[in-house]
């Protein structure tokens, strides 16, 4: 296959893509396949001789789509949405075609400068203060890892960069029990150790208790530990918990600790001013992350990390060997010094396309619709005698349980969820909340309509009668 063939096959792929999206609504959302079924259709070894694109494409059509869970389906309400707007997909094709490494300014000047500008556009769109700069990582996990590495090295007075942690004080990181597992992972990867991630109790509204945070830090100092940082969340993954950001950051600052806020999901909603009360005080954070793929149309991969001051993180992550020096230029941004990997994709292009193709007004309207429709579904489900709202909607996420008069609600809810996902009209997932098995409703997909969201009511109230 050569580049002339690519011209032909790209056009065929474009038609396939349009048909795929037009037909998504008729497919079951979750893959209706069994374990090993796809693998069984693949030969044991790679071919020795070139194969015809006709055959490769035909196999793709026969094997792949039916064994996929369709994340762009308008009734995908599982986990969190992972949007891919048409404008984003188009930009990804172009970035793909250039396949540049955006690690240094000179390896991709437009990549670096569009990335810098998109960070500023997004900072202003989210209503963040002018002191923030930032960069694009692959995922929220990597943003959080970068912040934890910075916390670690700053607390070690930067000796850890050359000498490691051996013989040093025992570091501590603080977060609530509602934070995402990426925080646990980051603390492990940073060599701080899971046991030194202190999970602070939450108040009745599931946000971190600032007094308990302060008390835990003081107790650790008295016991000889070295506190390094505090991680707060705006929108916990399980049920959308919101930490009190201003109070949490104030406690951290009073102990001179580095701070990071995980707003991977809820951050996208902050392009709407009416939701910003949920992270009141955010401008005092040293670092924060949000994922524009979770509800703002810009597809994975890509997570935005805003930094109050990039210098400490560059001190932790930046390395400049001779072969990466930019000769005769001092003042350029080399984003690899801000991030864990060296190689970096041109992720800013899809942000540029998406923000321009829909405008902030268009994206705000989508987010407002999703929140309104999910709240409407919540209200309707609340009127049904056999359903209980277990956690109310924060933004476009709530949880519920099937609670008929007779029977074990946990077991019945699990059975209902299996029936719903085998049915295929909608896709929902579960979490454990205060010992209860609950179903999460997380809306919505880029192409969802109000009727798609409301169909959840029809499907769950219909299928609960079949259990
Ligand atoms: C989704 C999510 C993450 C993980 O995001 P990745 O980009 O997959 O690493 C972390 N924190 C929260 C709150 C999330 O919702």
Cα(145) to centroid of ligand 1, in Å? Answer: 12
Residues lower than pLDDT 50 in the chain: none
Beta-strand relationship, 429-433 and 397-402:
unpaired
Find out whether the beta carbon of 238 lies less than 6 Å from any atom of ligand 1. no
Cα(79) to centroid of ligand 1, in Å? Answer: 10
Q: Is 90 part of any domain?
A: no
Out of 138, 264, 304, mutate this one to test ligand 1's pocket (max ligand atoms within 8 Å of CB): namely 264
What confidence score (pLDDT) does residue 328 get?
A: 73
Closest by CA to 358, choosing from 297, 293, 302, is: 297
Cα(140) to centroid of ligand 1, in Å? Answer: 5
Find out whether the beta carbon of 243 lies less than 6 Å from any atom of ligand 1. no
Note whether 368 and 332 are same-domain residues: no
Note whether 200 and 235 are same-domain residues: yes
Find out whether the beta carbon of 306 lies less than 6 Å from any atom of ligand 1. no
Out of 184, 265, 269, mutate this one to test ligand 1's pocket (max ligand atoms within 8 Å of CB): namely 265
Q: For the segment 47-60, what is each residue's pLDDT rounded down to a tens digit?
A: 999 999 999 999 99
Find out whether the beta carbon of 141 lies less than 6 Å from any atom of ligand 1. yes
Give residue 238's domain range: 101-345
DSSP codes joined into one string, 451-464: HHHHHHHHHHHHHG
Q: Is 43 part of any domain?
A: yes
Find out whether the beta carbon of 299 lies less than 6 Å from any atom of ligand 1. no
pTM exceeds cut of 0.85: yes
| 89/31 Cα distance (integer angstroms) | 22
Cα(3) to centroid of ligand 1, in Å? Answer: 37
Q: What is the DSSP letter of 271?
A: G
Q: Is 357 part of any domain?
A: no
Q: How far does the chain reach from its first CA to its final CA, in angstroms?
A: 53
Residue 261's domain is classified under what CATH number? 3.40.640.10
Boundary residue ending a domain (345, 375, 397) = 345
Specify which residues 432 forms β-bridges with.
437
Q: Is 89 part of any domain?
A: no
Find out whether the beta carbon of 147 lies less than 6 Å from any atom of ligand 1. no
Q: For the segment 76-92, what is each residue's pLDDT rounded down to a tens digit?
A: 999 999 999 999 999 99
Q: Is 207 part of any domain?
A: yes
Residue 457's domain is classified under what CATH number? 3.90.1150.170
Q: Is 95 part of any domain?
A: no
What confidence score (pLDDT) does residue 408 get?
A: 97
Cα(289) to centroid of ligand 1, in Å? Answer: 9
Note whether 255 and 327 are same-domain residues: yes
What confidence score (pLDDT) does residue 322 get?
A: 84
Find out whether the beta carbon of 180 lies less than 6 Å from any atom of ligand 1. yes
What confidence score (pLDDT) does residue 323 get?
A: 84
Residue nearest to atom 12 of ligand 1 (CA): 264
Cα(178) to centroid of ligand 1, in Å? Answer: 13
Find out whether the beta carbon of 398 lies less than 6 Å from any atom of ligand 1. no
DSSP codes joined into one string, 9-30: HHHHHHHHHHHHHHHGGGS-SS
Note whether 195 and 66 are same-domain residues: no
What confidence score (pLDDT) does residue 63 get?
A: 98
Note whether 110 and 237 are same-domain residues: yes
Out of 180, 303, 304, 397, mutate this one to test ligand 1's pocket (max ligand atoms within 8 Å of CB): namely 180
What confidence score (pLDDT) does residue 325 get?
A: 81
Out of 291, 397, 442, mutate this one to test ligand 1's pocket (max ligand atoms within 8 Å of CB): namely 291
Note whether 308 and 435 are same-domain residues: no
What confidence score (pLDDT) does residue 326 get?
A: 79
Note whether 109 and 62 are same-domain residues: no
Note whether 114 and 249 are same-domain residues: yes
Note whether 143 and 270 are same-domain residues: yes
Residue 57's domain is classified under what CATH number? 1.20.1340.10
Boundary residue ending a domain (312, 345, 378) = 345
Degrees, nearest 5: CA angle 202-295-79: 60
Cα(296) to centroid of ligand 1, in Å? Answer: 14
Find out whether the beta carbon of 265 lies less than 6 Å from any atom of ligand 1. yes
Note whether 143 and 199 are same-domain residues: yes
Boundary residue ending a domain (21, 56, 72) = 72
What confidence score (pLDDT) does residue 290 get?
A: 98
Q: Is 67 part of any domain?
A: yes
Cα(187) to centroid of ligand 1, in Å? Answer: 15
Contact between residue 82 and residue 294 where contact means Cβ atoms under 8 Å apart: yes
What confidence score (pLDDT) does residue 355 get?
A: 98
Q: Is 127 part of any domain?
A: yes
Find out whether the beta carbon of 140 lies less than 6 Å from any atom of ligand 1. yes
Cα(323) to centroid of ligand 1, in Å? Answer: 34
Note whether 55 and 135 are same-domain residues: no
Give the total number of structural domains in the chain: 3
Note whether 283 and 176 are same-domain residues: yes
Cα(4) to centroid of ligand 1, in Å? Answer: 40
Q: For the segment 133-169, what is each residue's pLDDT rounded down to a tens digit?
A: 999 999 999 999 999 999 999 999 999 999 999 999 9
Cα(463) to centroid of ligand 1, in Å? Answer: 31
């Amino acid at each position: 296959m050569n580049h002339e063939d690519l011209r032909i096959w790209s056009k065929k792929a474009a038609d396939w893509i349009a048909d795929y999206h037009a037909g998504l609504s008729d497919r079951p959302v979750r893959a209706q396949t069994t374990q090993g079924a796809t693998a069984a259709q693949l030969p044991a070894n790679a071919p020795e001789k070139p194969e015809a694109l006709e055959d490769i494409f035909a196999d793709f059509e026969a094997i792949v789509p039916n064994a996929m869970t369709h994340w762009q389906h308008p009734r995908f309400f599982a986990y969190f949405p992972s949007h891919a707007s048409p404008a984003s997909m188009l930009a990804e094709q172009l970035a793909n075609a250039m396949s540049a490494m955006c690690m240094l300014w000179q390896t991709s000047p437009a990549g670096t400068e569009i990335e810098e500008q998109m960070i500023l556009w997004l900072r202003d769109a989210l209503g963040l203060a002018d002191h923030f700069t930032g960069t694009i990582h692959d995922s929220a996990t990597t943003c959080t890892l970068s912040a934890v590495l910075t916390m670690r090295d700053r607390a070690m007075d930067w000796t850890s960069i050359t000498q490691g942690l051996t013989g040093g004080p025992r570091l501590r990181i603080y977060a609530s029990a509602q934070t995402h597992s990426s925080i646990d992972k980051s603390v492990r990867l940073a060599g701080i150790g899971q046991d030194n991630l202190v999970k602070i109790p939450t108040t009745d509204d599931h946000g971190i208790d600032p007094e308990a945070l302060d008390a835990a830090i003081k107790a650790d100092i008295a016991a000889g530990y070295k506190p390094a940082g505090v991680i707060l969340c705006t929108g916990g993954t399980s049920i959308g918990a919101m930490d009190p950001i201003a109070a949490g950051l104030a406690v951290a600052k009073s102990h001179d600790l580095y701070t990071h806020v995980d707003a991977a999901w809820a951050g996208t909603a902050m392009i709407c001013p009416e939701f910003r009360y949920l992270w009141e005080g955010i401008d005092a954070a040293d670092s924060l992350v949000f994922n524009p793929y979770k509800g703002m149309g810009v597809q994975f991969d890509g997570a935005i990390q805003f930094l109050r001051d990039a210098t400490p993180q560059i001190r932790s992550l930046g390395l400049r060997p001779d072969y990466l020096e930019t000769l005769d230029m001092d003042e350029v941004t080399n984003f690899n010094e801000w991030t864990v990997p060296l190689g970096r994709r041109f992720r800013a292009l899809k942000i540029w396309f998406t923000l321009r193709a829909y405008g902030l007004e268009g994206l705000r309207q989508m987010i407002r619709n999703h929140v309104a429709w999910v709240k409407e579904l919540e209200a309707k489900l609340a009127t049904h005698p056999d359903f209980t709202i277990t956690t109310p909607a924060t933004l476009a996420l709530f949880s519920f349980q099937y609670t008929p008069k007779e029977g074990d609600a946990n077991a019945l809810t699990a059975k209902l969820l299996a029936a719903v996902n085998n049915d295929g009209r909608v896709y929902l997932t579960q979490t454990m909340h205060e010992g209860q098995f609950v179903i999460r409703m997380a809306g919505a997909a880029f192409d969802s309509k109000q009727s798609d969201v409301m169909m959840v009511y029809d499907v769950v109230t219909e299928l609960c009668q079949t259990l």
